[in-house]
Structure 1
Amino acid sequence: MLNLTLTVSAADYMWDSVLRKGGVVVEIRWLEAFIAVAEELHFGRAAARLNLAQSPLSQTIRRLERELGTSLFDRSTRSVSLTPAGHALLPHARRVFEELELGRQASRATDGVVYGTVSIGFSGALNHLTLPPLTRAVRQRYPDVTLSLTGRVMTRDGVEQVERGALDIVFVGLPLEPSPVCTRLIGKERLGVALPIDHPLAGETEVDLGDLAEDGFITLPLDVGSSLAQLTAQACANAGFRPRIVQEITDPYMILTLVSAGVGVALMAQGVQHIMPASSVFVPLRGEPTYMRHALAWLPDNPSPVLKAVLEIAEEVLPTPAD
């Protein structure tokens, strides 16, 4: 088993494209070749991806294995697979290139140019009032910034992805479980109910949640850490019943589609009333309001200058609402 940790900083990276760490000398292009083969699991496809012939690629991998003193791939005439050592090396090799990209971003930031990629996770329809203003403002202000957007990201999963560096920013619902991430409230929406248009209460201006105790509910999955699913369960408990779940689905807009199809009813934030599908209606709940609290979450020690710039724009276009 390979026990290897590679950490690249300004002092570690040599501008002759060689990484020197703990007596190991590794050329950056060797790691690039390793990543390509590890992702393709095919030397021919990896060579084409790198615009190399297959023979030089194989020689590069063998040089890397000799320098590290271990095999990174199990090779046969029919397949290529990572060894345990290869699996151990892969995330660290990727980190080398992530750190180099951060270095490029930082060097350009000193000239006043914000450049690079920021990855943003969001749930879908629940963010239709908050995601577009942010992405539009970023594109207008910083045309050299690339936005990598990932949908259907629930709160708990999004926080975990931010913690491990897979996402830079995620839209979440508050409150969160204890976590190292920072959050900032960006919106509050009252919960209401989405009903099929032929539901007996569809024509009301307000409904009591308790009047829906016999209905089937469509929700986001509770086990993926959806804040809306948690709010649904809590609001129904406060109304004196446990909701009968007839369908769980990770896409909020698909929940509305199933409501319009007559599959059940769903509690939703009031912002969806502007995007309700045909054959469905949004009706506010009567009584003490239950709010869905929208927030942004990020790691405070993320060194990306792009993240800092995007968060500054978010403060302008998505200010914290007054209580």
Structure 2
Amino acid sequence: MELRHLTAFVAVAEELHFGRAARRLNMAQPPLSQQIRQLESELGVRLFERSTRSVRLTGAGEAFLRPVREVLAGLETATRLAKAAGRGEFGRVSVGFAGASSHAALPRLTRAVRTAHPGIELVMRGQTYANRALDLVADGSLDLGFVRLPVSRPGVAARVIAEERLVCALASDHPLAREERIEVAGLAGEPFVSFPADAGSSLRDATFQTCERAGFVPRVVQEAPDSYTVLALVAMGVGVTLTLTSCTHIQQTGLVYRPLAGRPVVLRSALAWRTDNPSPALRSVLAVARRVLPAPPGAADGDDRGAGTGKAGSTGSTDDDSKGKAPPDDAPATERP
């Protein structure tokens, strides 16, 4: 039994005339009659009563007609959906992100995707820190990840979507809270609150690299899995932390933010994906992201094809990142006057 047999049967059942059914199918009548005979032979029943003047369905034919129509309608729906999926209108895209630093970009992206492509499901994976997200994108476990430059993985592309600066968060009654700007070296004797060492946090990496450049290794006294908890512990007076300007929307009693003295430490946030990912849905999401998450001024269009020798998962970028160059391994982030 083939699809052409079912199509032929429905045409004859609806027309109750072999000549009209043949014209409807754009074929000659003898092949149509042969297809009906083949179908009846396959089923072992007669589907039509034929005479020189009329054609009518048998009881078996009437019983067969409704489910065959459902099969053909289902096939038409499946064909339409498959073509829509091929155009990127349907599908699933997995997205890795971590907490507060994506609070502005992620809602804009998800709302815009729902509006433009309601058939695309975004599968969100929270608590996926930048370095870990890059690993998962590189090995194909994630379609799209919120990461930080530089991206130096073969086959992984990234587009800059934001620039952020490191700031110091500390308790409001801390002696340094009276300062307008915080010297990083002045934090040498302070206890720090940070993300876990094995979480793949680019912010933790940037914190350690910035402190080491100021001549000390930060003493972490407590770790927490997200910025909200880290900053709550800081407000309690457990320690200080370096966080991002994108996290300063988190306001808690007893918590203050102060910029760092000297040249700002700038981190570039990006979306990363594998260039060989065949998903049309991913391409549609990337097109939406390009519209609603434009590259910041000075980052050109932000495409970085992963060329360069920077350490994988490093948190920083140089002014030439948009040209595909990566910073040296010991440069955690851009410092700008």
**Structure 1 residue 139: Cα displacement:** 1.4
Q: Which of the residues 246, 252, 258 maps onto 2:233?
A: 258
1:107 matched residue in structure 2: 83
Shift of 1:143: 1.7
- Whose Rg is larger? 2
Letter in 2 for 1:293: R
Which runs of structure 2 are paired with 1:40-119 in the superposition (5 Å)?
107-109=83-85, 114-119=89-94
Cα displacement string for residues 203-232 of structure 1 (whole angstroms, at most 9, x for unaligned residues)? 332211111111111122343332111110
Flag structure 2 segments of 5+ consecutive residues without an equivalent.
4-78, 299-337
Q: 1:280 to 1:113 in 2, by over 3 A?
A: same
1:231-289 deviations in Å (ceiling 9; x for gaps): 10111112221111112223122111111121111111112112232221111111111
> 2:308: which partner in 1?
none
Query: Displacement, 1:113?
Result: 6.7
Aligned residues: percent identity?
A: 45
Asked whether 1:166 is paired with 2:141, we answer yes
1:71-102 CA-to-partner distances (Å, cap 9, x unmatched) read xxxxxxxxxxxxxxxxxxxxxxxxxxxxxxxx
> Of 218, 237, 241, which residue of structure 1 is paired with 2:193?
218
SS at match of 2:269: strand
- Size of the aligned set, in residue pairs, is 221
| Maintained 8 Å contact 1:174/1:227 | no
CA distance in 1: counterparts of 2:178 and 2:110, whole angstroms? 36
Q: Higher relative contact order by CA 8 Å / sep ≥ 6: 1 or 2? A: 2
Distance (Å, rounded) in 2 between the aligned partners of 1:151 and 1:231 = 21
Separation (CA, whole Å) in 2 of partners of 1:307 and 1:138: 11
Q: Is the 8 A contact 1:185 1:294 kept in 2?
A: yes
Residue 175 of structure 1 aligns with an amino acid whose one-letter code is P
Do the aligned partners of 2:85 and 2:91 also contact (CA within 8 Å) in 1? no
TM-aligned CA deviation for residue 105 of structure 1: 6.5
Q: Which residue of 2 is the match for residue 88 of structure 1?
A: none
**Mapped contact 2:137–2:273 kept (Cα < 8 A):** yes
Q: Distance in 1 between matches of 2:81 and 2:177?
A: 53
The reply on whether 1:279 has 2:272 as its aligned counterpart is no
Query: How far is the alpha carbon of 1:109 from its aligned partner?
Result: 4.1
1:97-156 deviations in Å (ceiling 9; x for gaps): xxxxxx98652145x671121111101111112111111111121122211111110223
Alignment of 1:1-323 (within 5 A): 107-109=83-85, 114-323=89-298
TM-score by length of structure 2 reads 0.61
2:227–2:247 CA contact under 8 A, matched in 1: no
Aligned mates of 2:183, 2:132 — CA distance in 1: 32
- For 1:221 and 1:179, how far apart are their aligned partners in 2? 27
Equivalent residue letter for 1:206: R
Confirm or deny: 8 A CA contact 1:123 1:252 kept in the other structure: no
Local SS of the residue matching 2:176 = coil
Taking the aligned partners of 1:105 and 1:303, their CA distance within structure 2 comes to: 17
CA distances 1:35-62 after superposition (whole Å, capped 9, x unpaired):
xxxxxxxxxxxxxxxxxxxxxxxxxxxx
Distance in 1 separating the partners of 2:155 and 2:197: 22
Which residue identity is paired with 1:141?
A
Q: Contact 2:88 / 2:284 at 8 angstroms: preserved in 1?
A: no
1:18-39 CA-partner distances (Å, limit 9, x unpaired) = xxxxxxxxxxxxxxxxxxxxxx
Instruction: State the SS of the aligned residue for 2:228.
Output: helix
How large is the Cα RMSD of the aligned pairs?
2.1
